[in-house]
Amino acid sequence: MNKEIELSQEFKSNARKAVISIIIFIIVYALIFLFAIGLTIACGYGALGLVMLRPSLITLALGLGLGSLGLLVLFFLIKFMFKSNKTDKSNLTEITRKQHPKLFELIEKLVNEVDTSFPKKVYLAPDVTAAVFYDSSFWSMFFPVKKNLLIGLGLVNATTESELKAIIAHEMGHFSQKTMKVGSYVHNLNQIIFNLLYDNDSYDASVRKFGETSGYFVIFVMIAIQIIKGIQWLLKQLYNFLNKNYLGLSKEMEFHADSIAAQITGYIPLKTSLLRLELAEVAFNNVLSFYDGKIVESIRSNNIYLEHHYLMSLIAEHDKVPLKNDLPDITLEEYTKYNKSKLNVENQWASHPSIEQRIERLETVNTLNKEENNNPASNLFHNINQLQESITQKIFGAITYSQQPTVNTLDKFKENMLKDFSEESFSERYNKFYDNKNPILFDIREDENEINFTFDELFSIEKVNKNYELLALKTDIETLKFINTKESEIKTFDYDGIKYKKKEAEQLLTNLDLELKEKIAQEKQHDINIFNFFHNNCKLEIDKLMLRNKYRDFFEYDKKFDKKTEISNEIIDKLQFVSENMPYDKIKSNFASIEPLEKILKEQIKEILKNPHYEYVITLEIKNDLENYLSKKWSYFGNQAYFDENLQLLFRAVSQYQYLVSRGYFLIKKQLLDFQIAIIN
């Protein structure tokens, strides 16, 4: 099957570019390495000559320092050879043919059809995923490495047998691609670059220790560090060059693997599964988030996959997506209906094409529809319930509970989810109008204004689409502002089907700013119409007063929201230095600059803790953390070391503050919107 599919010109072109970029990287690295060897030899001769010219303890020390200069640079360039980059398999479960014969029979059949090698090992992951992976090190570039197949049990839970077959066929397509070797080289070269740019803690410590041995060594250590900085700058440029060329190939490899899968199963199973993946991932992550919140109560699940399946159906029902084969049946129109962007920019840094691009390419593949098996993909596994419970046990086994956890029942989970959906979403009657839109500030009049709109007209699909058009326009403008900067390497882009050059972005921005002002004015008028509609529908004067007050409360919170979040964002930005190596004095100076911001943050936290508005969202854990943070002035650095526990407390306090501020915004908005529905009910 693999031999029958002709490689596109784009595939061949990107493959050539990727190979050439690898060769250029190797040549440049070889030249740097030869320079380091030459520097080492020159420094060695210089050191020997210095000692022979005037033998003394001082010249001996200077000679050792000079001789070490080249060695420090040379060792920096080869230290990656001693580091292995093995995939962390602690969360994976290896499965065998004996355990799951039907699955392995399917894999073997696909291996023969694609004409590729059987996976070295097959692993199960807990989540919604499928992939090819292998252990790699510097030396694996010279020796063959067998690939492993990874299948997510969350993915199995969200597919039919035909869909899972199509996805595994896609992965077998990757197994067959000779260009996977190119990917292996790029992966390993990236590991080398990462090691030389960022994985330097032990090297830095050794160099610092060596420099502190004698004052005569310091000058040579400083010279070595400057040379290394120059090498690192060059490596950053090589990284950009190498990866830009490879990522183009990576996208073509995805298209090619899709074509192989489509030849085997027809394109429909791959299309339907691709369109469902995002919803399946959201549902799976929401189940995990639910149990994250239950750690304090020591509650866990016995089988998260039953809950995952239920939640997929619940989300589908909420989004008015029909079920087919007991799974959400998402169409391309449904998938893209809220994407109103008119800007099209080729993302050079994306390793995968978008779902829309993949489906568009799939539909051009001339494949006959094949007979589909719409049974659950879980049928391919022996004793699926036991397997799901085993993986669930592994997930929760990594969590430390304060007491023996109790097991949540599926019925209890459903009850919690239905309650959460009610509390975490706005009334369905709004037709998702407010999901990504907030009322715009306007003057609230107490006198009635005549209104000629019905509820259905105010919250029609047309009005919802206008909200998403405005949202897309704002996003497009921000992207165009970046394109218009010197930092952007984008040369051309498409807007509304018309091709533009970078220099034309400024004029387009001027036009779009005018369009944005007009749309915002229209949206504001629409919000006024909505207010007047509900105001006119109030039967009692007290209801009118309450409606006006709820709008005023919301507008007041909205005005303060940005200032509230600015404080925490600024603290997080200023704390980035804790992940970098820097002099102790600079660390102390950085923490001193954060102190005034911390004072403001603590005042804001005190206000939140006193405000009854937050009473239902401040858990015992959050309250204890915030009160502990407020209890004293904390130190975060001393005796040349970070106080990790104190730092973690600061990070938690900032994170919890951000959560509460955002949560407060949602609640005050929901109270307003629920009250409006109560008026017409």
User: Would you place residue 584 in the very low, low, confident or very high pLDDT band (cuts 50, 70, 90)?
Assistant: confident
Tell me, what's the pLDDT at 175?
82
Exposure of 2 in the CB half-sphere (CA atoms within 13 A): 20
The confidence band for 105, taking pLDDT boundaries of 50, 70 and 90, is: very high
- The DSSP bridge pattern shows strands 148-152 and 327-328 to be unpaired
**Residues 412 and 198: beta-carbon distance below 8 Å:** no
pLDDT at residue 141, rounded to an integer: 60
The model's pTM is: 0.82
pLDDT greater than 90 at residue 486: no
What was the pLDDT predicted at 133?
A: 82
Q: 296 CB contacts (<8 Å, ≥6 apart)? A: 402, 619, 620, 621
Per-residue pLDDT at 120 exceeds 80: yes
What is the per-residue pLDDT for 378?
Answer: 97
Least confident range from 90-104, 216-230, 297-311: namely 216-230
Give the HSE-up count for residue 329: Cα atoms under 13 Å, Cβ half-sphere.
Answer: 7
Residue 134 pLDDT > 80: no
pLDDT at 302 over 60: yes
- Check: CB of residue 452 under 8 Å from CB of residue 540: no
Q: What would the mean pLDDT of 217-239 be, rounded to a whole number?
A: 87
Nearest Cα residue to 537 out of 454, 618, 595, 610 = 454
> What proportion of the chain, given as a percentage, has pLDDT over 90?
61
CA distance readout (Å), 171 to 10, 49, 270, 419, 465: 21, 61, 12, 39, 37
Does residue 19 carry a pLDDT above 90?
A: no
Name which residue leads in pLDDT, 174 or 125: 125
Packing angle of the helix pair 57-78, 201-213 (nearest 10 deg)? 180
Query: Span 193-202, mean pLDDT?
Result: 77
Question: How far is 326 from 318, CA to CA, in rounded Å?
Answer: 15
For residue range 23-50, list pLDDT tens digits in order.
Answer: 998 899 899 999 999 999 998 888 888 8
Q: Hey, what amino acid is at 627?
A: E
**CA 264 to CA 267: how far, in whole Å?**
9
HSE of 573 in the Cβ direction (CA atoms, 13 Å)? 8
- Give the integer Cα–Cα distance in Å for 672 and 667: 9
**Whole-angstrom Cα distance, residue 320 to residue 314?**
10
Three-state secondary-structure class, residue 199: coil
pLDDT at 144 over 80: no
- SS3 string, 108-159, reads HHHHHHHCCCCCCCEEEECCCCEEEECCEEHHHHCCCCCCEEEEEHHHHCCC
Q: What is the mean pLDDT of the chain?
A: 89
Angle subtended at Cα 450 by Cα 446 and Cα 454, rounded to the nearest 5 degrees: 115
Model confidence band, residue 22 (pLDDT cutoffs 50, 70, 90)? confident
127-136, 214-223, 668-677: which is most confident = 668-677
Question: What span, in angstroms and rounded, lies between the C-alpha atoms of 408 and 299?
Answer: 6
Please write the tens of the pLDDT for every residue from 333-362: 999 988 899 998 876 667 788 999 999 988
The pLDDT, as a whole number, for residue 374 is 94
Mean pLDDT of the region 625-639: 93
Give mean pLDDT, residues 394-411. Answer: 92
Distance of alpha carbon 623 from its chain centroid, rounded?
29
Pairing of strands 492-495, 136-137: unpaired
d(CA 303, CA 126): 11
- The more confidently predicted of residues 649 and 66 is 649
> Which residues fall within 8 angstroms of residue 393, CB to CB, at 6 or more apart?
none
Within a 10 A sphere around the Cβ of 87, how many other Cβ atoms? 13
Residue 625: Cβ-neighbour burial (10 angstroms; 0-12, 13-18, 19+): middle
Query: Is the pLDDT reported for residue 208 higher than 80?
Result: no
Mean pLDDT over 578-605 rounds to 90
Predicted local confidence at residue 87, as pLDDT: 64
Looking at residue 142, its pLDDT comes to 61
Q: Are 265 and 162 in contact (CB under 8 A)?
A: yes
Under the banding of pLDDT at 50, 70 and 90, the label for residue 196 is confident
Tokens of residue 298, six digits: 């020591």
And the tokens for 407? 């097991």
pLDDT at residue 135, as a whole number: 67
Reported as a pLDDT band with limits 50, 70 and 90, residue 84 is low
State the pLDDT at residue 628. Answer: 95
Q: How confident is the model at residue 140 (pLDDT cuts 50, 70, 90)?
A: low
| Interval 372-381: pLDDT, tens | 899 999 999 9
By C-alpha distance, which of 11, 4, 66, 78 is closest to 39?
66
SS3 helix, strand, coil % of the chain, rounded to 5?
A: 70, 5, 25
Return the biggest CA–CA distance within the chain.
104
Which of 29-38, 75-84, 222-231, 315-324 has the weakest average pLDDT?
75-84
Pairing status of strand 130-133 against strand 122-125? unpaired
Residue with tokens 């549902």: 283
> What letter represents residue 20's amino acid?
I
Is the pLDDT reported for residue 138 higher than 60? Answer: no
Position 282 pLDDT exceeds 70: yes
Query: Given a cut of 60, is residue 384 above it in pLDDT?
Result: yes
**Which residues lie closer than 8 Å to 160 by C-beta, 6 or more apart?**
269, 325, 327, 372, 373, 374, 375, 376, 377
Name the one residue in this structure whose structure tokens are 């090698």.
Answer: 117
Most confident of 77-86, 140-149, 547-556, 558-567: 547-556
- Residue 327 to residue 74: CA distance in whole angstroms: 58
- In order, the DSSP letters of 341-407 are --EE---TT-SS--HHHHHHHHTTS--PPPPP--SBGGGGSTTHHHHHHHHHHHHHHT---SSPPEE
CB neighbours of residue 174 within 10 Å: 21
Distance CA 293, CA 299 (A): 9
Q: How many C-beta atoms surround the C-beta of residue 650 within 10 A?
A: 21
Helix (H, G, I), strand (E, B) or coil at 299: strand
